[in-house]
Structure 1
């Protein structure tokens, strides 16, 4: 029993603050509050840029032209507006969005999938095996590629807007430069949000646009349902099914495979040390050491990426052959084919993940640094190969699960259109739910950090007090060595 003079003195906060933080744990994590504030700031900057018009453009003429071409746009990828809450009449400085970065990312993924050109493929494979340094180089290549795509897309959009220019002199150059600068600034905002905010920056921007479009859709929905005289039981069934899809999206993001870990140093010490029967524990200790592998580590991120590529692919093909783009759009957006073609895009997006090799290597290096390994797997290269295989398996099942959700959501929206006269945009709801779930998971982990820090501080103080007590007890014991005179 420690005396009171050796009892550690805990740093206490005012009682009212303790009471408040217990009921509002968010206030006990300054880091989380800072991340939330920065996320709101980054989102505000990105959304404000959507409403800053391009200089030198006749906005009224653009709006009237967009209204007249809306129907034809839906046949060549205009579903992008409905899926992401965009406005085809918008001529803001951020009009290109994060499209150039996604195009560059998909280009690298296709090179790794098709293995052409051979020289670039070999170079990218070497970078994948180089760990974090290689991942940084691949990210730099993606950013350079996004700049090139932004130049091409900016030039195309400037040519489209030239008939609506107020002053044609120098319009193409100024408009292209403004659009490219806006796309790069938006990408910078995404990077800053990933480093200092909550969630993935790209997913945040896309979900913000979808939330805006979804809110506008919900405001129009009561009038559409009243005009169609929909029975209450049909509406209740549709809402229940929509909520079930959202719950399924949350459930899929939480499915994981747990690989049991063993600690070689700990096991060697236990085998080499014999304890007396009185020192043995009454029950075997419970082990919770495992390595979790989620089937959807990025949440609904692949669904966001697949949606963007799916709706924009006809417009990309239109650069090469407009007739081929029209045929492609007619096939992909055919109501009978749309759910299945979109599901295939989602599945391929999950499979085309070229960062798994880097993640497996980092996990293997971490286990080697703590003298741990996967149970039943030899350490070293065998562990890394095993992790790559397991991650590929998780991506396969995650792709099937998320693709199944996408197919079910599209079929549900088609059924709502037939029976209710309006779609509930289940795909948008699933994407928003996935992003919110990922952000909440990150927020929960940040809220645990102050608690862990306080617990570690208490343990350090207690251990210091015990050491001090032991030293004092030792100094009070008289020496048994006789004095020599």
Structure 2
């Protein structure tokens, strides 16, 4: 406990770090205040009983409750995330975008600008759909055409402002701004979810013992998720000795850290996008909605969870294959005079790394699928829907990843100024500390 207070006081002593943390808190406060400002022409009273469930409830969690409140930030940063994913996939499939990715800083600026333009287009489409389908007519004060147009403009401006806040947090604050905004929205739903679950249990649905068991289970799920996020397989690399003048370079053994879950949260996001299709088909074609299609629209059904888990496993292998390049890693190692003991340099090294990645990706994908379906299993076991989302899925992975990443950056500031880190033994390994050689999306 004494070391904790000492570390906190050291954080406050570093002026640059203190200013960055205060800036981050200020920008997050602005975002949370904006999430309670309702769109013009909407009655807040009429929206109080409109709860979002299922997949829409998950989107509402990412937006910090703004989605159900018809806030000016109702769409949050999800259009920006969608645009980032599209641009990244274009960089994999189209040579023109691949060339821009290899142009260094100028290429990154062009891709960033393209992502912003694509964000505007996606937001305009989503804002129109949101104004027409997600806000009930009895909650509106304005005629339908004017309401749709004004809401489209305001929601687009709100998303762009949130995107600007995220960039300012990354530039002037600590951590990744977009990820922190998503995390703030998720954490904002935790007190209400925890309170509703507590009231439900105390009201006779299991009592305080059941509530305590749920908290213990949640603790172990978080620990399990941290192990998956932080798990790495180290491949030893030996570098040849070089003598330049009177100095010797190389001759040391290092490691290539291959992450057990190199794909991060992206397979769950891709799988959830696919699972939105049955829900959309059911809304547009009610007559074509059979029993199987209805089951796929219900995230607690076994059909939904089975297909969802299989999609996550498949997307984990797919995303790992397109982001981790064993051949490039082998070539870079060979250029720098490195080799894996017992393995020939060149193509054989690439095949060896690829085999190791395949072996660790299988258990990683299975564990990721288990984490993804835990919220639905918790709902089936009687946990309140708002609280069940914290038992796994995208929300928990984002929380764990962002917290570890932010703590790792804070520790880097402390160690640079010769202070003790946050941990008594060892160092935190955030997502930026363990890299497989490929940049991923902002989440």
Alignment TM-score, normalising by the size of structure 2: 0.72
Q: 1:340 to 1:33 in 2, by over 3 A?
A: farther
Q: 1:28 to 1:415 in 2, by over 3 A?
A: same
Q: Where does residue 55 of structure 1 map in the other structure?
A: 40
What does residue 154 of structure 1 align with?
A: 127
- Match among 187, 191, 194 for residue 218 of structure 1: 194
* Aligned position for 1:411: 377
Q: What does residue 296 of structure 1 align with?
A: 261
Alignment of 1:57-206 (within 5 A): 57-61=42-46, 63=47, 67=50, 70=51, 74=53, 77-80=55-58, 83-84=61-62, 85-86=64-65, 88-107=67-86, 121-125=94-98, 137-160=110-133, 163=137, 164-166=140-142, 170-206=146-182
User: Separation in 2 of the partners of 1:312 and 1:216?
Assistant: 26
Q: Which runs of 5+ in 2 are unaligned?
A: 421-443
How far off its partner does 1:121 sit? 3.7
Matched position secondary structure for 2:189: helix
Give SS of 2:236's match. Answer: strand
Aligned partner of 1:479 in structure 2 is none
What is the CA-CA distance between 1:432 and the residue it aligns to? Answer: 2.8
In 2, Cα distance between equivalents of 1:356 and 1:196: 32
Structure 2 counterpart of 1:37, from 18, 22, 32: 22
Aligned-pair distance for 1:440? 1.8
Which whole-Å deviations, capped at 9, do the CAs of 1:206-259 have from their partners, x for residues lacking one? Answer: 222222222101112222112225255544433322211111111112211212
Contact kept? 2:35, 2:71, Cα under 8 Å: yes
1:400 and 1:377, CA in 2 relative to 1: closer, same or farther beyond 3 A? same
Indicate the RMSD between aligned Cα atoms, in angstroms.
Answer: 4.6
Q: 1:337 aligns to what SS in structure 2?
A: helix
1:38 Cα deviation (Å)? 2.6
1:30, 1:355 → 2: CA distance? 43
Contact conserved, 1:260 with 1:289, CA < 8 A, in 2?
Answer: yes
CA distance in 2, matches of 1:338, 1:230: 28
CA shift in 2, pair 1:104/1:199, >3 Å: same
Aligned length: 406
Question: Per-residue CA shift, 1:161-180, capped at 9, x if unaligned?
Answer: 59424366744333211111
Segments of 5+ residues of structure 1 without an aligned counterpart are 1-19, 114-119, 274-285, 454-485
Tell me which residue corresponds to 1:476: none
Q: CA deviation at 1:135?
A: 5.5
Q: Contact 2:20/2:174 (CA < 8 Å) preserved in 1?
A: yes
Structure 2 distance, partners of 1:148, 1:430, is 28
Alignment pair present for 1:446 and 2:422: no
SS across alignment from 1:225: helix
* 1:45-77 Cα shifts (integer Å, max 9, x gaps): 22222112222334444x16x63xx5xx636x3
